[in-house]
Amino acid sequence: MKTKIVNTGCCHDCGGRCVLKAHVSNGKINRFETDSGEDPQIRACLRGRAYRQRLYSKERLKYPLKRVGKRGDGKFERISWKEAIDIVASNLLRIKKKYGNSSILLIAGGGNQALLHGFLPVGAMLNNFGGFTRTWGIPSFEGTLFASMATYGTLNTGNHREDLLNSKMIIWFGWNPAVTIQDPGTSLILAKCREKGIKIIGIDPKYTDSIGIFAEQWVPIRPGTDAALLISMTYVIITKNLHNKEFIDKYSIGFEKYEEYILGKEDNIPKTPEWAEKITNVPAETIVRLAKEYATIKPAALIAGWGPARNLRGEQYARAANVLTVITGNIGIKGGFASGFMRAYPSRKVSHTKYVGNSASDKKKDQERNRDLFNPVELGYPPRPNSLYKLRGGTHPSSSRIHYNKIYDAMLKGKKGGYPTDIKMAYVVGSNPINQRSNSNLGVKAFNNLDYIIVHEQFMTATAKLADIILPINTFMERNDIAVPWLGSPYYIYLNKAINSMYESKSDLDICKMIAKKLKIRSKLLATPEKLLLRYFASKRKDIKNFRQMKKDGVLKVDVKEPYIAFKNQIEDPENFPFPTLSGKIEIYSEHIAEMNNSLLPPIPKYLEHNESIKSPHATKYPLQLITTHNRVRSHSTFHNMKWLDSIEEHCVWINPLDASPRQIQDGDIVYIFNDRGKIRIKATVTERIIPGTVDVTQGAWYHPDKDGTDIGGCANTLTIDSRSPGGACSMNDILVQISRTFSVDMEGS
């Protein structure tokens, strides 16, 4: 049998978009290779290499399914595509007629990170159908995003990875690219940095693989307190007169106000290393040394990972990190790093619709220009409180949207709870919210409160189990698409269809075309053939010069001549290149935020406690802090139950011996982790690699409640809180829990 090699890729919601070369014979993929072309090679990680076990999994959803049992019982019957489309269309019409378009909530997640599927076609279909309610607030990075916009007015704050080799020192917070990829090649560059003798320090509650392999030093920190560490480092730098005053004066505004807070003139609390030691558990002398080193070793890259911003005051940490890079003048120069959102080369166009103002003619124009992108439901809503609505390029500020971590509350309470609408239908695509949004148990309750649930899926996820109708979706291997990197590495992946769609699965795009036809919806996007859509995207990008070549090669590596340095122009030529903030300068103090007049969202970065902080009253009942990090075998809840991957990393909770011992927990024991929201059963790994007082359950394991309501799948979000920071950060870290070997007895543990 002749084997042909098809260039495709793996583009789930991890930090990579990677090359896979599928060996296909007789309509079947027999094996993969990865990029073997010019450097830098975009080598797939273990998840991509295990793709055949996902593609050919017995658990793939094969046919359209209609619920026959009670919701959540998992009883479905096979139906034809014709029947499925009829049912979806009639329910859309019914809900629209009875409750209006705003009662349809589109939950579109990151399961597919290529262009043509997921949100795009469903959004186009529903926009043309009269609109729908959208969500805002991305669990991964919303706190960081808010801070990046507030400080710099943009998300493009990153230097190219290669530029780290120009740094003299790298210091990171909650960043673990050995596992989270953070664009392919990042680990390789960190290895080269270490080999070059660049000093690397990792600040993290965990001794991560990235720290263990690349860093010279681990600074363990209590979760949720990174802002205090950064602020006290700022104190040391200011009081030792190590800050770059010239840079601060020239490029930023509001330093004086921050200085008042730092020195304690505002609240009588100088933010000394001793102050921070009590909060962070980082020794004061370590803080002094870190601060001095970061301020004097130049250039230095401070990388504020997204994880520490995933808590109820997340944006404060991210803003404090940005400001520290500013006062040391590490911006716009080789080897420096502005922190922020960290996107570099803008190959991924950030999609953000124009804010819909109140001028009728503007709205009309917008609407006519593009009915695929215009959502009539959002018409006329004022900006959301606490949103950076005056800035372009961040999160859409419309108050018609519901925060991702509040969708369950909104489903249960609706308008009476202060939400913009009563939600009756969930349309879920590329997403597994029950598993991946906070408070899974509440999610089930909320979903059960809905009138109708449509789910596009590849597997029977916890969310799909609650569906009224499930439409089976094909994978990257079964369709054509283009994928762009997450954080601005200069390349594109062209995914060539390697095999025909398995069973009766179809793509999101093809399904939406069928539904649109049934509903007699006219959508430009849905009427355009897939190939033309891809060509259209490519035509919009100046760096894609040869579409055919990109398609043939499966990858296009853009020659950028030299590594991209964020804000190089702003620093070298401030007259002609203002920062894209309202003031045109870096905003240490934000007038836009000051106008919000919210003590939990101060105009300068501050360390703020919250209900799940270790100092909150809840901590007496639930004295351990939970973090929910990523592991190497899953991309969120994708890649569940693949033998090649599961055998590598068993799902478990990391707990320090100092916390395990008083609870009589030994390595390998089955334990319960619980709080008021739920309890999970999970294996314990007793390890020195985590700071005492903190436990880690990697997110993404599949929610699986037993008959007593214990989640025996060990889903981290059974424990997280369905709340958010004022800036929009989802609270996936810094969550109070207790652990016990048995659940009924010995609840207190110690």
Partner 1 sequence: MVQLGFFIDQTRCIGCQTCSVACKDWYDIQDESINFLKVKYFEKGKFPDIFISYLPTPCYHCSEPLCAIVCPEHAITKNEISGIVTIDQDKCVGNETCGAKCLKACPYDVPQFGSESNSKMQKCNFCINRLEKNLNPICVDACPLYAIEYGPIDELRLKHGNNYLATNFKYSNRCRPSIFHKPKLK
Select from 65, 104, 164, 178 the one that contacts partner 1 (CB under 8 A).
178
Select from 643, 662, 666, 750 the one that contacts partner 1 (CB under 8 A).
643
Select from 160, 271, 592, 689 the one that contacts partner 1 (CB under 8 A).
689
Span of 31-39, 260-268, 351-359, 482-490 interacting with partner 1 by CB under 8 A: 31-39
Does 116 sit near partner 1 (CB under 8 A)? no
Does 591 sit near partner 1 (CB under 8 A)? no
Sheet holding 217-220, edge to edge: 217-220, 199-204, 169-173, 300-304
Nearer to partner 1, 162 or 451 (CB): 162
Select from 209, 216, 266, 530 the one that contacts partner 1 (CB under 8 A).
209
Does 692 sit near partner 1 (CB under 8 A)? yes
Q: How far apart are the C-alpha atoms of 735 and 733, rounded to whole Å?
A: 6
Select from 3, 25, 30, 351 the one that contacts partner 1 (CB under 8 A).
30
Select from 207, 337, 459, 476 the one that contacts partner 1 (CB under 8 A).
207
Span of 62-70, 208-216, 517-525, 677-685 interacting with partner 1 by CB under 8 A: 208-216
Does 553 sit near partner 1 (CB under 8 A)? no
Q: How far apart are the C-alpha atoms of 347 and 345, rounded to whole Å?
A: 6
Q: Min. distance of Cβ 637 from partner 1 in angstroms?
A: 19
Does 5 sit near partner 1 (CB under 8 A)? no
Q: How far apart are the C-alpha atoms of 150 and 716, rounded to whole Å?
A: 30
Does 644 sit near partner 1 (CB under 8 A)? yes
Question: In the numeric block, which tokens belong to residue 478?
Answer: 């079964």
Span of 122-130, 463-471, 580-588, 642-650 interacting with partner 1 by CB under 8 A: 642-650
Q: How far apart are the C-alpha atoms of 207 and 210, rounded to whole Å?
A: 8
H/E element, 360? helix 360-369
Nearer to partner 1, 479 or 632 (CB): 632
Nearer to partner 1, 205 or 430 (CB): 205
Select from 319, 371, 632, 651 the one that contacts partner 1 (CB under 8 A).
632
Read off the DSSP letter of residue 43.
B
Is residue 243 within 8 A of residue 249, CB to CB? The reply is no
Nearer to partner 1, 188 or 242 (CB): 188
Angle at 463 between CA 105 and CA 114, to 5 degrees: 70
Q: How far apart are the C-alpha atoms of 232 and 276, rounded to whole Å?
A: 6
Q: For residue 15, which of 212, 200, 192, 176 has the smallest C-alpha distance? A: 176
**Per-residue three-class SS string for 182-234:** CCCCHHHHHHHHHHCCCEEEEEECECCHHHHHHCCEEEECCCCCHHHHHHHHH
Does 199 sit near partner 1 (CB under 8 A)? no
Q: How far apart are the C-alpha atoms of 422 and 416, rounded to whole Å?
A: 8
Span of 68-76, 204-212, 250-258, 716-724 interacting with partner 1 by CB under 8 A: 204-212
Does 6 sit near partner 1 (CB under 8 A)? no
Does 36 sit near partner 1 (CB under 8 A)? yes
Select from 79, 87, 165, 188 the one that contacts partner 1 (CB under 8 A).
188
Select from 8, 148, 154, 187 the one that contacts partner 1 (CB under 8 A).
187
Nearer to partner 1, 648 or 747 (CB): 648
Select from 49, 60, 513, 636 the one that contacts partner 1 (CB under 8 A).
49
Question: In the numeric block, which tokens belong to residue 65?
Answer: 């399914």
H/E element, 280? helix 273-280
What are phi and psi for residue 468, nearest 5 degrees?
A: -90, -30
Q: Min. distance of Cβ 303 from partner 1 in angstroms?
A: 17
Does 284 sit near partner 1 (CB under 8 A)? no
Does 121 sit near partner 1 (CB under 8 A)? no
Does 33 sit near partner 1 (CB under 8 A)? yes
State how far Cα 485 lies from the chain centre: 14
Select from 11, 19, 24, 45 the one that contacts partner 1 (CB under 8 A).
45
Q: How far apart are the C-alpha atoms of 679 and 672, rounded to whole Å?
A: 6
Is residue 99 within 8 A of residue 422, CB to CB? The reply is yes
**What DSSP string runs through 594-630?**
HTT--TTS-SS------TTSTTSGGGGTS-EEEE---
Question: In the numeric block, which tokens belong to residue 737?
Answer: 């829990």
Does 218 sit near partner 1 (CB under 8 A)? yes
Does 32 sit near partner 1 (CB under 8 A)? yes
* Residue 438, number of CB atoms within 10 A of its CB: 27
Q: Which residues bind partner 1 (CB under 8 A)?
A: 30-34, 36, 43-46, 49-50, 52, 178-179, 184-185, 187-188, 191, 194-195, 207, 209-210, 212-213, 218, 220, 632, 643-645, 647-648, 656, 658, 687-692
